[in-house]
Each structure stands twice: as C-alpha cells, then as structure tokens.
Amino acid sequence: MADEIKQEYTDSEGYVRSVPIVWVEPEDSRIIFANQFLTQFFEEEFILTFGQLTPPVVLPRQSAHERQAQIENIEFVQAKIIGRFGFTPQRMRELITILQENLARYEARQGGGGSDE
C-alpha cells in the first residue's frame, strides 16, 4: 500500500511502534449526501452538523397566482440532521487540510473546477 496510514503507540518506557490503520466498512454502510452544514465551536471542541434539505414541492400545474400563494404560505424549510461530529482543534485543522488537498487534486484533474453539484 503506497498511502498506508499508520498510528504510533508509545509505552511508558519510550518504546514506539507504528501499526497500520485498516478501514473496515460495515455491510450496511452507505453514502449519504449532505447539502446543509452547521459549524459550532466551544472552548476545546468543534461540532460539525451535516444535514439534508429538500425544498418543498410547488405544484407546476397551477396558475402563476396559485403557485405564488403556495410559496408565500411556506413558513420554513426543514433540514434533516444526518450526522453530528465532534473534533478537537487539532483534528479540525487536519480535516481542513485533508479537504483542501483533495479539493485541489479534484480541481486539477477536472481542469480547474468541475461541477459544484
């Protein structure tokens, strides 16, 4: 494995051992797309909340006046929380670095941008 990631363990007497990290995917694992994000921070932690927002249906077979009335009656749009993750400041920096590096590689491969959706 060229990009093998290892975790170092050190005992109380200074013995260090690096062991590889092996990612194990559960059988029921699936990709969930998020289109809403909320970030909070406290003294020693960051909380990232990921959500899905589905716009309300506006019926197309109505008159323009009826569609406008339907839109005006929308009080809020609900974002369903699909995951919340906590990070220390150091792990947050690592996540940001990893995301920036991967986005740069993606944009280089796509010729400068690619699709945003």
The predicted-structure confidence for 49-87, as pLDDT tens digits, reads as follows 999 999 888 888 788 888 888 889 899 999 999 999 999
Q: Is the pLDDT of residue 1 over 50?
A: no
Q: Please check whether residue 47 is in contact with residue 85, taking contact to mean a CB–CB distance below 8 angstroms.
A: yes
User: In this structure, are residues 72 and 64 in contact, taking their beta carbons and an 8 Å threshold?
Assistant: no
Mean pLDDT, residues 31-54:
96
Number of domains within the chain? 1
Q: Is residue 6 part of a domain?
A: no
21 domain-assigned: no
Return the higher-pLDDT residue of 114 and 95: 95
Q: Which residue has the higher pLDDT, 9 or 105?
A: 105
Q: Which long-range contacts link 48-55 to residues 24+ away (Cβ below 8 Å)?
A: 48/84, 48/85, 48/86, 48/87, 49/81, 49/83, 49/84, 50/81, 50/82, 50/83, 50/84, 50/85, 51/79, 51/80, 51/81, 51/82, 52/79, 52/80, 52/82, 53/77, 53/78, 53/79, 53/80, 54/80
CA-based max dimension of the chain = 78
114 pLDDT higher than 70: no
pTM score: 0.70
Both structure tokens of 72: 């005006």
What is the span of the domain harbouring residue 40?
Answer: 31-110
Position 115 in a domain: no
Does 7 map to a domain?
Answer: no
Whether residue 26 is contained in a domain is answered as no
pLDDT at 117 over 80: no
* pLDDT score, position 104: 95
